[in-house]
Amino acid sequence: MKKLVVVLAFLFLQVNLAQDHPKVENHPSQKMDVVLFTFGMMDVITIGAMSASGELSINFPKDISFISEAAKENSWSDTAFTLFSKCTNSYDILSEEENGKAVSGGYISLATKEQPYMGLLFMVSDENLIPWIEDSYSNNALVGSYFELVYLESDFRYQGDCNSSVSNTEVDTVETLYTYDLDLKAGFNFIEYAIESVKEHKIPSMYEEGAFDTIAKPSTVLVSSSQTTPPNTKWIGKYFYN
């Protein structure tokens, strides 16, 4: 029995280590820093490292007092815009008292001492989502999750729905329902956008005048939050060097 307990404890430790150190699937054999430019290119926030074997160690700073007040003021937005910009009625969702300071975390980037901008990391449940993330107009959405980072000055909780309505033609409007369940803490938070369903729409072609392309757009999306690295997430790198 004692031996069984030891084995189970070892397996539990291994699972936790695997969750704490996710791995970049298409990593180069090179150590890199994991950084954010949340408050501008001159104010780099180091949030971890990627080993030569692709393992990630993520550790968000508890204190960002090293960021200048000028950089913060130039970057701050409000909570409504940062979290609900996809909603048609974004500025009607929160009261003035609820609408604190927030900012998008921006891309999760990779850097070295020699090259401060080596690449990007995408967090997705399916790497086939990446073309749509980079160009949602021309590429098809699909069922799956993608993740973003936000930074909030204070704690924030919200549950509710909103709609996005975009008219691409006189006879076709892209309607998307977003359902939010957020429990955000002051500091950095992961936001998961789980696309539950998609619908095809006729979109004016970017390449041929008077022509239309059939493109799948999200129709229902669940939005949730976490302060830790979401498990079962694929980390995919995009690199900017030869």
Mean pLDDT, residues 60-80 taken together:
93
Residue in 160, 165, 166, 127 with CA at minimum distance from that of residue 146: 127
Give the number of domains in the chain. Answer: 1
**211-231: per-residue pLDDT in tens?**
888 999 999 999 999 998 888
| Weakest-pLDDT range from 10-19, 128-137, 192-201 | 10-19
What confidence score (pLDDT) does residue 209 get? 85
For residue 14, is pLDDT > 70?
A: no
d(C-alpha 80, C-alpha 98), whole Å: 9
For residue 125, is pLDDT > 80?
A: yes
Q: Which domain holds residue 147?
A: 2-239
* pTM of structure: 0.87
